[in-house]
Amino acid sequence: MTEPKSYKWFLDFLSPDEGHMHGIETILFAKQTKYQRMEILETKSYGRCLVLDGKMQSSQADEFVYHEALVHPAMLSHPEPKRVFVVGGGEGATVREILRHKSVEKVLMVDIDEEVVEQSKIYLPEWSQGAFDDPRVELRYMDARKYLEETKDNWDVIIIDISEPVEEGPAYLLYTKEFYKIVQNRLGKSGLISLQAGSAAHTSLTCFAAVYQTLKAVFPYVGGYQATIPSFGLPWGFTVASTRIDPRAIAPEEIDRRIKERIKGGTKYYSGEIHQGQFLFPKNVRNSLERFDRIIEDNQPLYTYH
């Protein structure tokens, strides 16, 4: 067995009792922004990584898995997504994947933390690949919930790409039943939302299960799904929801046809087979998701470990 090298180490805590260690070659950027602690690390295994409030957000080696898993299920389930709203998404990779859909005419990204976006442009340009300069994209720095409460605009797809709900962090009121009702009111008749929802490991299901049950209290069609993202150290949960469309009912062959017709350059991770299979969970995980009885509300927010 090869002995560990004497790197500096970043320990990404997955719970109070478990963590994933990453060997760090260089700390490229570290700063406390107005809203959160931001770090950009050069790691040995995964290349450059964005870390917010001590939690891994994305890595150079596998960010395409995360962002394709987040964006394409909702986008491909909609018959013709033209207007897309992004909550968060600071690195720009979520917008990048949205823009690859030929039907898209307008993307509005609202992120509360300008520093994360600007530093990502400098240190993580491979994530956005020029997406912020696309004329279809508008970028605003403000509270996304406040914007959605005040606007009358409707959107075909709303994608929520934010960090986990940590106490005193910027995101915890974007996981509540009240917020999901605001989102529902801003969707067009065939609209869908998708979001990352935390660990899908059976030992760390609290966030994922609570988000899943909270969305079910608002939307008639809710599909929890998972993707393997190695840099996260655990299987990762996502959720897609709609008032009219059930993505789980779309056949793999139809998804493959839509990828070919609708996405410029195809996909590296996503396929019809992945689309169908991602909604399948081991029996113990499925039972835990369905039996969980926690609804996240403004006056009863959920905080993950921090």
> Is residue 161 annotated as a catalytic residue, yes or no?
yes
DSSP code of 224?
E
Catalytic-role residue among 12, 111, 156, 161 = 161
Provide the annotated active-site residues. Answer: 161
